[in-house]
A and B are shown apart, each in its own frame.
Chain A
């Protein structure tokens, strides 16, 4: 079974702090993603990466950055946390189908971040 793990289930930070959310997958997947999940808004893509050291902005990248130094690890960084970044953060990975760039995604359990 593919396993995607996230460093924390719950996190409480203060406004202005730098926050690191870590995600690790154990199935050698090429693609990794960070989403935030908010009630009534579904999942919104923050950043994705299709290879080591490669990263692309998603739909809501403002206030976030990412790092992918190793294939299995994809980190989300909140440079200066703000209250409007209080949310559930989901990491996902996928192995593209042969000759394609897509396939099903495997999700981690999520990190519920509260910024006070």
Chain B
């Protein structure tokens, strides 16, 4: 079955710590992947996307993600988190026929 998995459901970090959130996908064909963020009380917004080309993708607010085909992964990283990064993060993939599949989300809490 097609799926996008996020294994970290809750992550707590101190400011300035490095972040890596895992995302694995399980579907064939062309892979198009996204990371979205939902800050408290705000709407979901795009952090970054991968369609093709350079597997290392840079996004907004210092986030990046690396597409590793052999590992079916698209992990999100940030070298130094800030308190304002406290949010819920969703990995998503386009599976074709206008459909997107979302992971279950990772709640990140950054302690000041």
Task: Give Cα distance in the complex from A41 to B105, angstroms.
Answer: 8
Q: Which of A17-60 contact B (CB under 8 A)?
A: 31, 33, 35, 40-45, 48, 50, 56, 58-59
- Residues in B with CB closer than 8 Å to A101 are 96-98
In the complex, whether A107 has a CB less than 8 A from a CB of chain B is yes
Query: Interface size bucket, B side?
Result: 20 to 34
Known: A102-B32, A102-B94. A45 touches B100 (CB 8 A): yes
Residues of A within 8 A of B (CB): 4, 31, 33, 35, 40-45, 48, 50, 56, 58-59, 90, 92, 97, 101-102, 104-110
Residues of B within 8 A of A (CB): 6, 9, 32, 34, 36, 42-46, 49, 51, 90, 92, 94, 96-100, 102-105
